Amino acid sequence: MFQYFILLLGLHVVITNGATSVNRLYPLDGRIVGGTNTSIKEHPYQVSLLKYGSHTCGGSILKTGNIKTDGFFVITAAHCVTPYTPQNYAVKFGITALNQLSPIALVDVIVRHENYNPLTSDYDIALIKLRNQIPFSTSSQPIRMSSINPADGTAAVVTGWGSTSEGGSLSPTLQAVTVKVVDPIVCATEYAPYGVITERMLCAGVPQGGKDSCQGDSGGPLVADGVQIGIVSWGLGCAKPGFPGVYSRVPSLYSWIQKNVKILGAL
């Protein structure tokens, strides 16, 4: 049921400009800003979402808590699956390098949040059901979604193959960087001229800048204390001082995830 192939790295350009927000989805493929090389065995929940055979976004293997559905679901950002025709996408898992020869999981169903707004990036979440189950190993494991909001200042790790800088060069190797959860009031004040920080958004970064997710990291996981608290969504550029990355807030979307896993799991 698995297909094997060598991933072709490309510079396909996708720009999503709204009146008040800019998704981190300009040049595809690249790496985290200010991060370091890491191994998929350190972050086995991380996946690469492929569009037309090339990396377009990150994602994470969802731990559903049910042996019948574990390994069949991936969480990503809604803006990563637009248009959301399932046959355009596939999921590559268990890899540290994007060009690794590895099995892929084909996509069966994609559900974007019904309230997703591409102009504001609100409700930027999508659930992917796979045709074939991801087998678990030291390089592929599901992660639990958090139902509890993290405290301000909580350290969290974001991973992906996104750019090292705005429009930066490609990185074939998975990257990781540690950032801290930012007070939502502080974040809303900083972003006031550019967009609204809603209750479905979580900000994380460092005051001096230099550490952040970037283009190509979209849809990837922000993890604290072993649970996923955010999904890479948008931001003003990458790693700018005073402008932390903006993530979809998983605890605020937890009930939506649970509801849709139950619906799709019964199909």
- pLDDT, tens digit, for every residue of 65-89? 999 999 999 999 999 998 778 999 9
How many CA atoms does the CB half-sphere of 240 hold within 13 Å?
12
Residue scoring higher pLDDT (35 or 100):
100
CA-CA distance, 129 to 106, in Å (whole number)?
9
Higher pLDDT, 215 or 134: 134
Task: Single out the catalytic residue among 124, 139, 171, 248.
Answer: 124
What are residue 74's DSSP bridge partners? 61, 128
**Tokens for 106?**
């084909």
Instruction: Say whether pLDDT at 118 is over 90.
Output: yes
Query: Does the pLDDT value for residue 15 go beyond 70?
Result: no
79 labelled catalytic = yes
Average pLDDT, the chain: 84
Query: Residue 145: CB partners within 8 Å, gap ≥ 6?
Result: 62, 63, 75, 227, 228, 250, 254, 257
pLDDT at position 84? 74
CATH 2.40.10.10 fits 155-251, yes or no: yes
Average pLDDT, integer, range 9-27: 30
pLDDT recorded at residue 211? 59
Quote the tokens at residue 196: 């609204």
Q: Average pLDDT of 95-107?
A: 92
Kindly tell me if the per-residue pLDDT of 18 is higher than 80: no
Q: Please determine, for residue 30, whether its predicted confidence score (pLDDT) is greater than 90.
A: no
Fold of 3-28+44-142+253-265: Thrombin, subunit H (2.40.10)
pLDDT above 70 (res 165): no
Residues in contact with 137: Cβ distance below 8 Å, sequence separation at least 6, in sequence order: 44, 94
> Whole-angstrom Cα distance, residue 224 to residue 43?
12
Q: Which of 79, 113, 122, 146 is catalytic?
A: 79
Residue 167's pLDDT band (boundaries 50, 70, 90)? Answer: low
Domain range list for the chain: 3-28+44-142+253-265, 155-251
pTM for the model: 0.86
CA distance 230 to 89: 22
Residue 256 has pLDDT above 70, yes or no: yes
pLDDT at 103 over 50: yes
- E strand residue ranges, the chain: 3-5, 36-37, 46-51, 54-61, 73-76, 89-93, 102-112, 126-130, 155-160, 175-182, 201-205, 221-224, 227-234, 245-249
Of the residues 60, 163, 218, 233, only one is catalytic, namely 218
Amino acid making up residue 144: R
Whether 225 is catalytic is no
Could you confirm whether 124 is annotated as catalytic?
yes
